[in-house]
Structure 1
């Protein structure tokens, strides 16, 4: 086989393989309700016996039409996530849902979803939202941001840092988000960097953020709460 033909074949296989593992596994049957009690560990969850499946496996009384309490959140938001952990019938279906409530001037701080793209719809109020690109060839990270009003939609690409902020002083906001994974995960940037256990060395962080170690020590001493209840 000519070297050029071999190279093209390898490149094609790499492309196909990378596409195949870029999202949740495709279902090979009508459904695969998660069996959380199974001792078998796989990438996801083992299927429950189909003969034991019932309608409740695909249902959750989440009451997503009702406001959530944001008063206990230091960042002024409350994320109610419905993923495979709460709704077992989502297993292998590659989708989940979240309601996000924002207090006046509240935010869903910069974070990423390592396994999902997110599409967000504003149900009430106004939001300033955006995401930042990965490192570009010119060493920049471009911000894409918009102000959204009721009924507006915005997409956050998988894995990229993004945020939402309610800029209004006297009115709350509500959004509904759909995510392209049964278990999208969330990495809140400040929490992960300054609130890890055990903490990242302040020598490392001081050099990374170009600040004094005392600043890092102060940040690591704060209580970094999770707004995903």
Structure 2
């Protein structure tokens, strides 16, 4: 593109200055999204790690109930922990794909592809985190055995022992499980906020790319008109 195109008056097409500005802005957006994606991946992996340890402890000790040494109540609901684990895995996979795609060298421009995938990843990750949080809080279709009025979760049960009387003997690892499940929920909430920021960054990138594409098309049409006019004049 010739820089002389900027002297064509008020025509709204892309100039060299606009192209340079777009590339600089896109580079900034690219690194911002990459940084957010790394943070989201880290938070999601930490969520999985925090929730996996209490769930593993439950599975390893729940068999003790057959030996008349039950650690867990009959109305225990582990679905909130499973939901957090599943959402963390989904979000991790989505963002790992974006990180790899963003860092993978390519001889071709992938601005449109990365804009599209970052938007898809942000929307999908936001939905996954929101569903996980809502499920943990409300536990739909929850049922419990006769004689109970509500369910316990790994978080509520372990923290109930941890926060009980100082004269009580806390079962081994309950204090750790309480902290881990609490941290897992907090990290999932953090992931939700980061996904919102990722969505904003993806939207800004997409709007910027569409704007410069529109101006390129306008310039192309203008150049075609100028060529046709010159050919008609010579004819």
Structure with the higher helix share, 1 or 2: 2
Question: Shorter-chain-normalised TM-score: which range?
Answer: under 0.3
> Which one has the largest radius of gyration?
2
Q: TM-score, normalised by structure 2?
A: 0.23
Structure with the higher strand share, 1 or 2: 1
Determine which structure has greater relative contact order: mean sequence separation of CA pairs < 8 Å that are 6+ residues apart, divided by chain length: 2
